[in-house]
Amino acid sequence: MSIHPQTRIGHVHLTVSDLNRALSFYRDVLGFEVTSRYGRDAVFLSAGGYHHHIGLNTWAGRGAPAPARGTTGLYHFAILYPDRKTLAGAVRRVLQAGVPLEGAADHGVSEAIYLRDPDGNGVELYRDRPEREWPRGPDGSVAMQTRALDLDTLLAEAD
């Protein structure tokens, strides 16, 4: 048995220690819109009016410490941008907000920037290249790679 090829992951729920701090990051820095709020315990955000792409909650404990690095749990989740210009704008806002980047990679099939949200969750901001541009091996299979991404060239495309 295999999963249907059109299956997609639709949203992520994150436990955070400070709802307003997390909301400032996802709304004010990354630009997601609030779709609903449940008092001081949870908020749901989306792009384009979807019911929610990101759920933030403090149900596990307001003020709880972030999990230690190197333990099991969420490594990162990825936010797919429609094109290079939109990705560049998001990265520019992240840098202007003083959020440090942990890495930037050209994977051949995509360009990705890695960072952490205020609770230490890994976040990947990326854009896919058109499939016709993907690197291929001799047998035609996708040949992903990890090369340095030229951030200056990317940022030059931001509005």
Q: What is the mean pLDDT of residues 122-142?
A: 94
Contacts of 133 (CB under 8 A, 6+ apart): none
Of 135 and 7, more confident: 135
**In which domain, by residue range, is 104 found?**
75-159
- Output the six-digit token pair for 119: 């609770």
Chain segment 47-72, per-residue pLDDT in tens? 998 888 999 999 987 888 878 888 88
Contacts of 102 (CB under 8 A, 6+ apart): 114, 115, 116, 122
The answer to whether the CB of 91 falls within 8 A of the CB of 113 is yes
CA dist., res. 55 & res. 46, Å (int): 9
Q: Do 83 and 158 belong together in one domain?
A: yes
pLDDT band at 41 (very low <50, low <70, confident <90, very high): very high
Q: Do 14 and 53 belong together in one domain?
A: yes
**Report field, pTM of the whole predicted structure over 0.85:** yes
142 belongs to a structural domain: yes
Q: What is the pLDDT of residue 57?
A: 93
CATH code at position 146: 3.10.180.10
1 belongs to a structural domain: no
